[in-house]
Amino acid sequence: MLTSELIRPRLRIQGSILRVEMVNEQDPALQQIAQDLICLFQRHQGQSQAAWEEAVRAYEGANVDYVFIRGLAKVLMDAATFKPLTTPLPPATLREQVFAYGPVFEQPDIFHTATRQEVLREVAETLELSAGELDEILFADRGASYRLTDAGPTWTPSTLLARYNLELARGALYWASHITIGVASNYKDLWKYIKLFKLMFWAEPGQNGGYRIDLDGPISPFVSSTLRYGRQLAAFLPALLLCERWHMQAYVHPPQAPGGTLYRLDHTCSLRSHFKSSGMFDSRLEEDFASEFEQKMGEKRGHWRMIRESEVLLLGDTVMIPDFALVDDVDETRKILIELVGFWHPTYLRRKVEKVRAANCAHLLLLVYQGLNVTEEAFEGSASEVIFFQNKPVLKEVMETVEAMANRIYGPRPKRRRKKKTKSLE
């Protein structure tokens, strides 16, 4: 991610509103700079990080927009892979052997008769290396000596400029104290990344559907590791872009502002995420269950409509997202959630059972694979229903249980009103 020195010059403050000045991704002049840097970076394959940084400084020259150039170069570096050279001994051990000779110089004097080259040659001989090879790997554990082994994505000028804009938006969150997010749909990946980046959050259902999520920012009084947490929060932003409808308000305190500012973004912005969204289904078991439901039930034969991962059970510092929700097509308040508990790792299974017990959700139906090391006793005390299955869930049994749960929780199903037929006048 970009450093604060590369972000601050792009921040614009108008009263209490913070705006990030993005670059025009279609500007021919900026695209040419981006193309130049992409080509320059590719030519440095196998070379050191120090050599790349020196090449960027040379390209900058007297260019007044050096912040932009350095920003693009940082984006390229962050998406690439630099690896240290292989050494016969740890570089620190090599330095100990060389430094044991004491101070040495390029030219000998009365107090230092051995030159630097002679010391390197003597130590290199014991390692069966040349003096030049030893000199090259002496500081191989330092980032400047790392070699570019993978240049990362196949960049184009447009994609590089788009990522630069995203990194600018990310960077504005370094100084956030609090962030409020509203999401209305397609938010499965959002929860996944909140958990992945270990963000501190509080969530509640939104007034108009969806959910409101409050995140502590890096300068919140509740955050101890400000720098690390700030990077985690900034890294999270592309996950929000995966949602279809969303809006964000961040309370930001940039260094150049006398007080707090408000930074707003929503789904209409031009930012693009480079995160990959999850597939429709997490397992073959879920996919087969959904396919069978569609084939055997469908809208014409049944009154239950299946929705994929549309509900979130809020459990304090975590969430549970059931695999499916069955919604009655006559009364959408009649809703049964379904969670398939399939072929899981024991640790994951234990956490899932803990979530089910914490949710204590009466309209949750669990379909549990019998081959798991779990029994009905594990779900005792939970309000949820449980069906165990051998190879796959039996849809008839599932739907009978769904009907019974709905009648018990919501009462008898209202009858669909038939439209009155009108006689035609001839």
* Domain residue ranges in the chain: 4-79+155-266, 91-140, 284-410
The pLDDT of residue 44 is 96
Residues of the chain predicted below pLDDT 50: 300-301, 424-426
Q: Which residues of 194-232 are buried (b: 16+ CB within 10 A; e: fewer)?
A: beebebebebeeeeeebbebebbbbbbeebeeeeebbbb
Run of H or E including 326 = strand 324-328
User: What string of DSSP letters covers 142-183?
Assistant: SGGG-EEEE--S---HHHHHHHHHHHHHHHGGGGEEEEEEEE
**What single DSSP character describes residue 85?**
P
The pLDDT of residue 266 is 95
Which fold would CATH assign to domain 284-410?
tt1808, chain A (3.90.1570)
List residues bridging with 147 in a β-sheet: 48, 83
Q: How far apart are CA 73 and CA 37, in angstroms?
A: 7
The pLDDT of residue 267 is 94
Q: Rg for the chain (alpha carbons), in Å? A: 30
pTM of the model: 0.76
The pLDDT of residue 218 is 80
Neighbours of 336 (CB within 10 A): 25
Run of H or E including 369 = strand 364-369
Residue 112 three-state SS: coil
Q: What is the 3-state secondary structure (H, E, C) of 224-292?
A: CCHHHHHHHHHHHHHHHCCCCCEEEEEEECCCCCCCCEEEEEECCCCCCCCCCCCCCCCCHHHHHHHHH
The pLDDT of residue 416 is 64
